[in-house]
Amino acid sequence: MSADPYEPVPTPWERHSAWLTPAIVGLLTAVLLVVSFPPLHTPEFAYACMVPAIFWAYLRPRFKVYAWTLFAAQAVGWTINLSWLHPVTWVGLLILGPIVGAWTGVWYLAAWWTMPRMVGRRTAVRLLAMLGLAGTWAVVEWTRTWVFGGFPWMPLAATQWERLSVLQVAAYTGAVGVSFVIVATNVAFAAYAHRLFREGGVGLSRRSQEFLLAMFLLLVCLSVMIQETAHRSRYTVPFANVAFVQPDVPATVKWDPAKAPAIIQTLTRTTIEAGRLNPDLILWPESTTPYPLRGGDSSMVRYVEQLSARTKAPMLVGADAIERPSPGTEHYFNAAFVVDPQLGVQTAYYAKRRLVQFGEYIPLRPLLGWIGKFAPLGDDFTAGDDSMPLIVPMSRGAAAFGVLICYEDLFPRLARDEVLSGADALVVVTNDAWYGEGAAAYQHAAHSVLRAIETRRPVLRCGNAGWSGWIDEFGSIRWVQKDENGSIYFRGASMASVTRDQRWVGRNSFYVDHGDWFVAVSAVLAVMGAAVLGTALPPEPDFGKDSSEPREIGPLRGLF
């Protein structure tokens, strides 16, 4: 039989849409995810990074196609975002990227279920469903702080680390509140696009209540910023002149005993350079000394004490500690110590509370201990359990510094505990040299911005070879240590004048006092949003004016 001459000829798009649509949505999702995060300076893309996938969910794609497309997009995007891991482990990168992608990608399954059920519903139902989706993201993001030991690297709020206007709400809700607003805005953009291109609204009928609600949430964030940061210069008072020492010791020689004399020589030279600046405090990064400052060779203790006396400045140094509670028993700690120029190394020290899996310990060692045969992990470190700040005597009086070591500034609860224990400021000592001169240092620093805003405390960061600097109570990056070429990766010492905002001296933020209350609110919104939509999928609505076919727009024919 011959083909019906009146049969519409399908366009190339219509013939290939079964694979072309998932390919385009997946590609856009992965690309927008990558460009939203540091080290790129394009955080505005975060407000649209979910829009392609959310809009596609409106069109009722098959579950398996949607799920696998978004899993692949998230796995690729997160593998690229975490690509700084490759100098340490390619295998770890290729495992961790898809795991984080699948973890965050769970949210898209909620979007696939929700969006078709929003079409044609009353305004109140749609808005509650939108808030429910944002709340679902907040809950999923919160689980990353504790499930499997926790890996909350790069929450969505971290995309805005250089945009303070939206971040100030974190002092009340924690960083998840910022992520909530960003996700709500993505849903709103997709809803607006659906109203324009699928529902064919004209004039006032084009108005999207979802979009108006998202704009209201953004205005709330902006009003908090204006209220809390306006005229802050009149409340600024000096706090301390702090010297940051970057010894830039390569990770490959860090634990080589033969390199210990060279490391000590480097520490001496850079610290004396810092001492010439007449600082109130000298900071060293994580695990700086080649030998422990407690439980090891006493000559290392004498060395740092003589160095502090020579510079006439107290020092806060990262170094290991060994405790022997009983004969034949040793516990290793990644720690931080205060060295007084008159009194020497103080007895009290901070021990890192959140250890890096497969870096500082092997989880479930009886089952996974075989990994040590393929990676030089050595013995497990022991986690500390004390959040008491370290007291440092300075020219303007003693100050309490809450210490966070390595990636501990990823965990909001740890910073909150330090402030609840009386910290005047937070100090992050870290060593990102393991990961080269890529994105790791900038992505890591973004978390310190979030912690500063949540706790309303200055954050001082000292890295082995970048990113070193300080951040004020409102997340403003006030100073970054750089060389004459503008690079953060170098060996040397510099000093910054750190200030405080009088309004927050001895005062806690709402988030510090009340913790993750917003996560509970988000969970309630997620349940309510699902409940009001019901379980049954309504019939696909007819958006055509004079036919039963949906309205199609130009080159998007077939996709929309």
Rounded Cα gap, residues 560 and 551, in angstroms: 8
Residue 487 pLDDT: 94
pLDDT tens digit sequence for 527-549: 999 999 987 777 777 655 443 33
Are the C-beta atoms of residues 137 and 130 closer than 8 Å to each other? no
Rounded Cα gap, residues 91 and 85, in angstroms: 9
Are the C-beta atoms of residues 474 and 232 closer than 8 Å to each other? yes
**Are residue 330 and residue 218 in the same domain, yes or no?**
no
Confidence label for 91 from pLDDT (cuts 50, 70 and 90):
confident
pLDDT tens digit sequence for 422-455: 999 999 999 988 888 889 999 999 999 999 999 9
Say which residue, 14 or 291, is predicted with more confidence.
Answer: 291
Closest by alpha carbon to 516, among 137, 173, 169, 156?
173
Strand partners, 460: 427, 470
pLDDT tens digit sequence for 387-396: 999 999 998 8
pLDDT greater than 70 at residue 7 = no
**Are residue 397 and residue 297 in the same domain, yes or no?**
yes
**Are residue 485 and residue 528 in the same domain, yes or no?**
no
Residue 53 pLDDT: 98
User: How many other C-beta atoms lie within 10 A of the C-beta of residue 502?
Assistant: 13
Mean pLDDT taken over the chain? 89
Closest by alpha carbon to 184, among 54, 35, 81?
54
In percent, the amount of the chain with pLDDT more than 90 equals 73
Q: How many domains does the chain have?
A: 2
Residue 4: inside a domain: no
Strand partners, 361: 357
Residue 377 pLDDT: 47
Say which residue, 523 or 360, is predicted with more confidence.
Answer: 523
Residue 405 pLDDT: 97
Residue 2 pLDDT: 53
**Are residue 421 and residue 538 in the same domain, yes or no?**
no
**Are residue 304 and residue 342 in the same domain, yes or no?**
yes
10: burial class by Cβ within 10 Å (0-12, 13-18, 19+)? exposed
**Are residue 244 and residue 206 in the same domain, yes or no?**
no
Residue 89 pLDDT: 81
Task: Label residues 423-445 b or e (16+ Cβ within 10 Å = b).
Answer: bbbbbbbbbbbbbbeebbbbbbb
pLDDT greater than 60 at residue 376 = no
Residue 134 pLDDT: 98
Average pLDDT over residues 286-314: 94
CATH number of the domain enclosing 305: 3.60.110.10
Residue 377: inside a domain: yes
Say which residue, 489 or 370, is predicted with more confidence.
Answer: 489
**Are residue 388 and residue 254 in the same domain, yes or no?**
yes
Residue 198 pLDDT: 75
Average pLDDT over residues 160-179: 97
Say which residue, 262 or 365, is predicted with more confidence.
Answer: 262
Rounded Cα gap, residues 533 and 320, in angstroms: 55
Residue 378: inside a domain: yes
Residue 193 pLDDT: 92
Residue 154: inside a domain: yes
**Are residue 139 and residue 288 in the same domain, yes or no?**
no
**Are residue 385 and residue 444 in the same domain, yes or no?**
yes
Say which residue, 325 or 72, is predicted with more confidence.
Answer: 72
Rounded Cα gap, residues 340 and 349, in angstroms: 13
**Are residue 240 and residue 223 in the same domain, yes or no?**
no
Residue 552: inside a domain: no
Average pLDDT over residues 320-347: 93
**Are residue 250 and residue 162 in the same domain, yes or no?**
no
Residue 370: inside a domain: yes
Residue 357 pLDDT: 77
pLDDT tens digit sequence for 102-121: 999 999 999 999 999 999 89
pLDDT greater than 70 at residue 367 = no
Question: Helix or strand or coil: residue 238?
Answer: strand
User: How many other C-beta atoms lie within 10 A of the C-beta of residue 412?
Assistant: 25
Residue 8: inside a domain: no
Residue 201 pLDDT: 52
- Write the DSSP string, 491-525: SEEEEEEEEEEGGGTT---HHHHH-SHHHHHHHHH
Q: Given 3-state DSSP classes, what are the helix, strand and coil percentages for the chain, each rounded to the nearest 5? A: 50, 15, 35
pLDDT tens digit sequence for 174-209: 999 999 999 999 999 999 999 888 776 544 446 789
Closest by alpha carbon to 460, among 445, 451, 471?
471
Residue 11: inside a domain: no
Residue 329 pLDDT: 86
Average pLDDT over residues 62-72: 96
**Are residue 450 and residue 531 in the same domain, yes or no?**
no
Residue bearing tokens 């006493």: 298
In percent, the amount of the chain with pLDDT more than 70 equals 89
Cα–Cα distances in Å, from 367 out to 136, 150, 342, 359, 370?
33, 19, 49, 16, 8
pLDDT tens digit sequence for 341-362: 999 999 999 999 998 876 776 6
Domain that holds residue 419: 233-508
